[in-house]
Chain A
Amino acid sequence: MTNVKVDTVAKTYGSTKVLTDISTEFVEGSFTSLLGPSGSGKTTLLRIIAGFIKPDEGVVMIGNNDVTNIPVWGRNIGMMFQSYALFPHMTIAQNVAFGLERRGIKGAAARKEVDRALEMVRLPGFADRMPKQLSGGQQQRVALARAMVIKPSVLLLDEPLSALDRRLRQEMQVELLRIQRESGLTTIFVTHDQEEALTLADTVAILDKGRIVQTGKPATVYERPTTRFAAEFLGDSNFLEGKVEGGAVRLASGTVVRTASTLPANGSDVTLAVRPEKMTISSGGSHANRLEARITTVIYAGPVLSYLLETPDGMAVKLFAQNKDGVVLKQGDTISLDWSPEHTIAVAS
């Protein structure tokens, strides 16, 4: 239960800069998701924190200790792998006890800890089985028990659930969250899956090309993306481009859009992001922003309808609506869209 800090860490392989100037802090007891496209450096960052990779520059701190030059085995970390990585020639109990043995805990004391850990992951009575006799989900629980039993300073997980099917995955998410909350263990979780990142984590860090582009609470990162990349990578966004004019933004079509974001000086180019679900099909309400658009496609997805629209000057706009009355609008209809300046975010492009 410790702060983990990464300070100006950089890593280069050959001529590719995999990580550039990464500085971030993982607060004690927090559950952070590292989110980013493939190749953005998530695994590399996690492995630098774990100690499998030495950074070219920068410092890794666990608690008050600079661990940059301490190898993996001396860092007291809990690690979970996509492939479970249980020791196939040991029983479940021996697997879980492995880390305890390294700490000189043996015999009855170890046995008690092992039993407690297996109970925590709801696998009591599995102690004497071999890993092969367990299902994938059960093996991953054992891996969690094995990582937790040593009371690590930080729990590191690299896409630990992506080998599981959807139901098991959700079940494990709930389990992981419960155990993380109960233990208050600082946890760093790498995932591709944004829904997983948003539901599990209390902090999301978005990586792009080896840089952390935004860190914050899931709701903040989602509602207030600071860059075009973040707005696009996490969820869906419409982007409106225009010029600042008297505290508002004039689009190329001449439409003036208001925003609650702070804008740069008059005359500068800006990009505004609007989430498709924040737009509503006009009810003649008093929302400040409005666009006319023609429906090009209606996508029926059960509870949600997605409309793909086109404004008269050819800009594509996406809108998500709750499916309250079924499909009433159809392709070719022209509608007007409303949305609030609150939901109009100026982003760096």
Chain B
Amino acid sequence: MRSDAVLNEAVRGPSGPRKHRMLPSWVATTALLLPTYAWLTLAVLLPLLTMFVFSFMSATPMGKAPITFTLKHYRAFIDQPYLLNIGWTSLVIGFWTTLLCAIFGFLAAVALARATVGRMRETLLILILLPFWTNGLVRVFSWTMVLRENGFLDNVLHMVSADTGSISFLYTRYAIVLGLVHGYLPYMILTCYIALVTIDDAIIEAAASLGARWWTILFRILIPMAAPGLISGAVLTFVPVIGSFMEPRILGGKVGVTMGTVIEDQFTQAFNWPLGAALSFTLLAVVLAIFATFSGVLRRGAAA
């Protein structure tokens, strides 16, 4: 700031009339936004662009094979129809994970925002964020300890009734969803919590005074008013979940073949980066299409 002023002084001379706006406003705006755009370019646009370019290459550019332009990777879903099944599996896992996160996350956020005050609230928030801070791999492997045959879950069951069989459901889709819900629940709780704490107590009291019981307050007041938090939580959960590969691999075993693991395989096992990139972009397109439909429905619902 100071050096600017000095510079301008020098250019205009000390006797010149002091003008407060020395630069056109768009210059200042651009200057202020530059770091943001620079960061976005570096962190988002460049990697995406690189991957986008890769997705049209005939082979991974590090190999010896000559590189040519091709669209064949985008035909993967047509050429290899089993991918459709895998894609569907991913969407189903994403749907259930998001739904369960939304239900439990919202209720937890309500309890946190409405039923607690002061220190208790802070402590609970930290407890909720704990899975966030633990290493994801450790988190997922600890679930295998719980869920495997003769694991923690079975042990607890056998303590209650000794002669029942195993209820182990490791290496099923339920295990995948469980692991994913555990991992992504904090996002949902946080976004819902932020939306819920801004609701004035008087609004809830007004509803109660008009005869509303807790479920009416939940469905008619809290959920609609905290909808932005629910929606951003759903986006923050759904998108990474359908691309996830760690949980499906470790908790799903043989049934854990999802878009996430297929894409990961292209990069780490098959060394087919272009196909991996093309599959990623196809997935991205599907996700965007789902959100576009969804937000269209929401908007029409709000307008009606």
* B203 interface residue (CB < 8 Å to A): yes
Q: How far is the CA of A143 from the CA of B206 in the complex (A)?
A: 9
Name A102's closest neighbour in chain B (CB-CB): B211
Which of A29-37, A83-91, A117-125, A174-182 contacts the other chain?
A83-91
Query: Would B225 and A88 count as touching, CB distance under 8 A?
Result: yes
Query: Would A73 and B225 count as touching, CB distance under 8 A?
Result: no
Q: How far is the CA of A82 from the CA of B205 in the complex (A)?
A: 12
Q: Mark A64-89, 1 if CB is under 8 A from B, else 0.
A: 00000001111111110111011111
Query: Would A85 and B211 count as touching, CB distance under 8 A?
Result: no
Query: Would B210 and A102 count as touching, CB distance under 8 A?
Result: yes
Query: Would A72 and B209 count as touching, CB distance under 8 A?
Result: yes
CB distance from B227 to the nearest CB of A (A): 8
* A52 interface residue (CB < 8 Å to B): yes
Query: Would B225 and A89 count as touching, CB distance under 8 A?
Result: yes
Q: How far is the CA of A85 from the CA of B225 in the complex (A)?
A: 13
Query: Which B residues are closer than 8 A to A by beta carbons?
Result: 200, 202-203, 205-213, 216, 220-221, 224-225
Instruction: Tell me which residues across on chain A come within 8 A of B208, comparing CB atoms.
Output: 52, 71-73
Q: How far is the CA of A52 from the CA of B207 in the complex (A)?
A: 12
Query: Would B202 and A73 count as touching, CB distance under 8 A?
Result: no
* A62 interface residue (CB < 8 Å to B): no
Decide yes or no: A87 and B209 within 8 Å by CB, A81-B202, A102-B216 being known contacts.
no
CB distance from A163 to the nearest CB of B (A): 11
Instruction: Tell me which residues across on chain B come within 8 A of A85, comparing CB atoms.
Output: 200, 202-203, 205-206
Query: Would A73 and B211 count as touching, CB distance under 8 A?
Result: yes
A-B contact pairs, 9 of them (CB 8 A): A75-B209, A78-B209, A86-B203, A87-B221, A89-B225, A98-B207, A102-B210, A102-B211, A103-B211
Decide yes or no: A98 and B210 within 8 Å by CB, A72-B205, A83-B200, A87-B203 being known contacts.
yes
Tell me which of B205, B209, B216, B220 has the highest count of chain A C-beta atoms within 10 A of its own C-beta.
Answer: B209
* A242 interface residue (CB < 8 Å to B): no
Name A52's closest neighbour in chain B (CB-CB): B205
Among A271-315, those with CB < 8 Å from B are: none
Query: Would B210 and A50 count as touching, CB distance under 8 A?
Result: no
Name B216's closest neighbour in chain A (CB-CB): A102
Q: How far is the CA of A330 from the CA of B209 in the complex (A)?
A: 57
Interface size class of A (residues with CB under 8 A): 20 to 34
Query: Would A150 and B221 count as touching, CB distance under 8 A?
Result: no
Q: How far is the CA of A89 from the CA of B198 in the complex (A)?
A: 14
* A99 interface residue (CB < 8 Å to B): yes
CB distance from A95 to the nearest CB of B (A): 9
Instruction: Tell me which residues across on chain B come within 8 A of A77, comparing CB atoms.
Output: 209
Q: How many contacting A-B pairs (Cβ < 8 A)?
A: 62
CB distance from A26 to the nearest CB of B (A): 17
Decide yes or no: A99 and B225 within 8 Å by CB, A83-B200, A85-B205 being known contacts.
no
Instruction: Tell me which residues across on chain A come within 8 A of B211, comparing CB atoms.
Output: 73-74, 76, 99, 102-103, 150
Instruction: Tell me which residues across on chain A come within 8 A of B224, comparing CB atoms.
Output: 89
Q: How far is the CA of A147 from the CA of B212 in the complex (A)?
A: 13
* A54 interface residue (CB < 8 Å to B): no
Q: How far is the CA of A74 from the CA of B216 in the complex (A)?
A: 14
Among A23-55, those with CB < 8 Å from B are: 50, 52
Decide yes or no: A73 and B200 within 8 Å by CB, A87-B207, A98-B207 being known contacts.
no
Instruction: Tell me which residues across on chain B come within 8 A of A81, comparing CB atoms.
Output: 202, 205-206
CB distance from B220 to the nearest CB of A (A): 8
Instruction: Tell me which residues across on chain A come within 8 A of B202, comparing CB atoms.
Output: 81-83, 85
Instruction: Tell me which residues across on chain B come within 8 A of A86, comparing CB atoms.
Output: 203, 206
Instruction: Tell me which residues across on chain B come within 8 A of A143, comparing CB atoms.
Output: 206
Tell me which of A75, A98, A103 has the highest count of chain B C-beta atoms within 10 A of its own C-beta.
Answer: A98
Query: Would A73 and B206 count as touching, CB distance under 8 A?
Result: no
Tell me which of A71, A75, A76, A87 has the highest count of chain B C-beta atoms within 10 A of its own C-beta.
Answer: A87
Among A234-271, those with CB < 8 Å from B are: none
CB distance from B203 to the nearest CB of A (A): 5
Instruction: Tell me which residues across on chain A come within 8 A of B221, comparing CB atoms.
Output: 87
Query: Would A73 and B205 count as touching, CB distance under 8 A?
Result: no
Q: How far is the CA of A78 from the CA of B209 in the complex (A)?
A: 7
Name B208's closest neighbour in chain A (CB-CB): A72
Q: How far is the CA of A74 from the CA of B203 in the complex (A)?
A: 17
Tell me which of B205, B208, B211, B220 has the highest count of chain A C-beta atoms within 10 A of its own C-beta.
Answer: B211
CB distance from A292 to the nearest CB of B (A): 55
* A146 interface residue (CB < 8 Å to B): yes
Q: How far is the CA of A150 from the CA of B208 in the complex (A)?
A: 13
Q: How far is the CA of A102 from the CA of B205 in the complex (A)?
A: 15
Query: Would A79 and B205 count as touching, CB distance under 8 A?
Result: yes
Q: 5 closest pairs, A vs B, by CB?
A: A102-B211, A99-B210, A85-B202, A79-B209, A85-B206
Q: How far is the CA of A150 from the CA of B212 in the complex (A)?
A: 12
Q: How far is the CA of A52 from the CA of B206 in the complex (A)?
A: 11
Instruction: Tell me which residues across on chain A come within 8 A of B206, comparing CB atoms.
Output: 79, 81, 85-87, 143, 146
Q: How far is the CA of A83 from the CA of B206 in the complex (A)?
A: 11
Name B203's closest neighbour in chain A (CB-CB): A85
Instruction: Tell me which residues across on chain B come within 8 A of A102, comparing CB atoms.
Output: 210-212, 216
Q: How far is the CA of A103 from the CA of B213 in the complex (A)?
A: 12
Name B227's closest neighbour in chain A (CB-CB): A89
Name B200's closest neighbour in chain A (CB-CB): A83
Decide yes or no: A98 and B200 within 8 Å by CB, A79-B206, A88-B225 being known contacts.
no
Q: How far is the CA of A147 from the CA of B207 in the complex (A)?
A: 10
CB distance from A45 to the nearest CB of B (A): 16
Tell me which of A78, A82, A102 has the highest count of chain B C-beta atoms within 10 A of its own C-beta.
Answer: A102
Name A84's closest neighbour in chain B (CB-CB): B202
Instruction: Tell me which residues across on chain A come within 8 A of B203, comparing CB atoms.
Output: 85-88
Name A100's closest neighbour in chain B (CB-CB): B210
Instruction: Tell me which residues across on chain B come within 8 A of A73, comparing CB atoms.
Output: 208-213
Name B206's closest neighbour in chain A (CB-CB): A85
